[in-house]
Chain A
Amino acid sequence: MLGQIAYAFPFLLPGLWTTLEVSAITVAISTIVGALLGVGLVYGPAPLRWVVRAFSDIVRGIPILVLLFFVYYGLPITGLNLQPFAAAVLGLIVFKVAQVIENVRGAIGSIPRGQTDAAKAIGLPFPERLAYVIAPQALRRFLPPWLNGVTDAVKGSALISLLGVGDLMFGIQKVVGRTYEPLALYGFGAFLYFVINYALSLASRALERRFSYIRE
């Protein structure tokens, strides 16, 4: 079994790299877009709030797999022809943006109202309240669930193998097809994903402990 894994590992490296790359791009873009939309959802004018709420609810109601197929197979019909890689990343970004929006809303929403009252009472206008009172606290509440949510991007990225993107999952499938050793290879693949995601969850928990003073 170890022999098979040693044989397979070099073939998996490019896929592993692609998985990390796709996850990183997805997380980077969705964090920026999601943070902006999330702030819009909390503080924006009513029409913006409705649009963001509808976007988030719809996206979170659709299986990621269907979302990916929709982007990959559906969009070309509208004239937007995306390569598998681009379609995969776009689909994952849409999925993650909705998640980040909810992370932001949760983070801001969990700050007691008294904080805004106190900031108003010392005469801080809205931008300063946001910058010096709300944002620093929201950030500490946002980071742990956000980091934990990165694992969802990594796990979700396994589905892009179904669009033919050469990620880790795709690599595993290829080697399985060649060696007919499914148990060892899927097991090893599970181990690789586990290492990445478990590290992220541990980091998330450490952050949560570090920022626990903010809730006391």
Chain B
Amino acid sequence: MGYHLNFALIWRHFDKLWSGLILSLELAVVSIGIGCVIGLALAVAYVSGNRLVRGLIAAYVEVIRNVPLLLLVYLVFYGLPTVVDIAYSNTTSFVVTLSAYAGAYLVEVFRSGLDAVPRGLIDAGRSIGLTPGQRLLYVRLPTMLRIALPALSNTFVSLFKDTSVASVIAVPELTYGAQWINFNTFRIMEVYLVVTGLYLVTGYAILIGLRLLERRYAIGR
């Protein structure tokens, strides 16, 4: 081997990793927030829409799910500004991409959640005289959200990991922080050990936290 691990230089630049981790989390939170809005709206549109609406939503979902995230990031960052005349920052560009990406996955999560709402509940809503809109708002959506909670948690943790792709367009998140330290110190092994640890600890901490929340609200176990 002959190689001695030396973490001193990593700790000296740890602020880069720390601020990167915070940004990664912010990116994931904002994207899942926007993604939920997209996902909910499209899931409701899907179950109540006509064939054309369904087809368009299915196309959006399938395209996003079958194209590498890296390519979507490039497409939005380098491709879109050539036709849309708005200047946006690297970070904004990535948030747009990751939100659209999250939206596509969440449409599926919410749609199958709506499918899983027991018929009896909807009938019960009908029998006490709720209109279709009221049934959606007071019966189907709240029940669906609880059914969808575990999948929502998983999606959030995956999005957190996916933020690492933002490093390719120089968004200063965690992976970018690692590359910056590599470039300046060449303690590559140490950097990736620390960064891997940060991703793991953060990801699992979030997951455990969300599972505890689910236990309080989730149904259908």
- B163 contacts across to A, CB distance below 8 A: 63
Docked complex: B170-221 residues within 8 A CB-CB of A: 175, 178-179, 182, 188-189, 192-193, 195-196, 199-200, 203-204
Docked complex: A22-36 residues within 8 A CB-CB of B: none
Are B63's CB and A186's CB within 8 A?
no
Per-residue CB proximity of A152-180 to B under 8 Å, as 1/0?
A: 00111111011000000100110010000
Which of B36-44, B67-75, B115-123, B128-136 is near enough to bind chain A?
Answer: B67-75
Partner pick for A69 among B69, B162, B192, CB 8 A cutoff: B192
Does A6 belong to the interface (CB within 8 Å)?
Answer: no
Are A70's CB and B192's CB within 8 A?
yes
| Docked pose: A64 CA to B162 CA in angstroms | 8
| Docked pose: A194 CA to B192 CA in angstroms | 32
| Docked pose: A78 CA to B74 CA in angstroms | 34
Does A201 belong to the interface (CB within 8 Å)?
Answer: yes
Does B164 belong to the interface (CB within 8 Å)?
Answer: yes
| Docked pose: A193 CA to B203 CA in angstroms | 29
| Docked pose: A172 CA to B74 CA in angstroms | 11
Given contacts A155-B69, A158-B71, contact A66 B1 (CB under 8 A): no
Are B161's CB and A62's CB within 8 A?
yes
Are A73's CB and B82's CB within 8 A?
no
Given contacts A193-B71, A194-B66, contact A70 B196 (CB under 8 A): yes
Are A182's CB and B192's CB within 8 A?
no
- B178 contacts across to A, CB distance below 8 A: 66, 69
Does A77 belong to the interface (CB within 8 Å)?
Answer: yes
Given contacts A183-B80, A183-B83, contact A79 B1 (CB under 8 A): yes
Does A74 belong to the interface (CB within 8 Å)?
Answer: yes
Given contacts A65-B167, A182-B82, A197-B66, contact A189 B175 (CB under 8 A): no
- B195 contacts across to A, CB distance below 8 A: 66
- A69 contacts across to B, CB distance below 8 A: 175, 178-179, 192
Tell which of A63, A77, A161 has the most Cβ of chain B within 10 Å: A63
- Nearest Cβ distance between residue B154 and chain A, in whole angstroms? 11
Q: Which residue of A lies closest to B199 (CB)?
A: A62
Q: Which residue of A lies closest to B82 (CB)?
A: A183
Are B192's CB and A183's CB within 8 A?
no
| Docked pose: A64 CA to B175 CA in angstroms | 11
Q: Which residue of B lies closest to A148 (CB)?
A: B65
Q: Which residue of B lies closest to A78 (CB)?
A: B1
| Docked pose: A65 CA to B161 CA in angstroms | 9
Are A169's CB and B68's CB within 8 A?
yes
Does B23 belong to the interface (CB within 8 Å)?
Answer: no
Does B142 belong to the interface (CB within 8 Å)?
Answer: no
Are A158's CB and B78's CB within 8 A?
no
Partner pick for A73 among B2, B79, B164, B192, CB 8 A cutoff: B192
| Docked pose: A62 CA to B66 CA in angstroms | 21
Does A151 belong to the interface (CB within 8 Å)?
Answer: yes
- B75 contacts across to A, CB distance below 8 A: 182-183, 186-187, 190
Given contacts A66-B196, A183-B75, A186-B74, contact A77 B66 (CB under 8 A): no
Partner pick for B78 among A57, A154, A176, A196, CB 8 A cutoff: A176
Are B67's CB and A155's CB within 8 A?
yes
Does B15 belong to the interface (CB within 8 Å)?
Answer: no
Are A58's CB and B200's CB within 8 A?
yes
Are A169's CB and B82's CB within 8 A?
no
Are B71's CB and A169's CB within 8 A?
yes
- Nearest Cβ distance between residue A60 and chain B, in whole angstroms? 9
- B67 contacts across to A, CB distance below 8 A: 155, 190, 193-194, 197
- Nearest Cβ distance between residue B25 and chain A, in whole angstroms? 14
Question: 8 closest A-B pairs (Cβ-Cβ)?
Answer: A158-B68, A197-B66, A63-B164, A183-B79, A182-B78, A186-B75, A63-B161, A155-B68
Q: Interface residues, chain A, CB within 8 Å of chain B?
A: 57-58, 61-66, 69-70, 73-74, 77-79, 151, 154-159, 161-162, 169, 172-173, 176, 182-183, 186-187, 189-190, 193-194, 196-198, 201
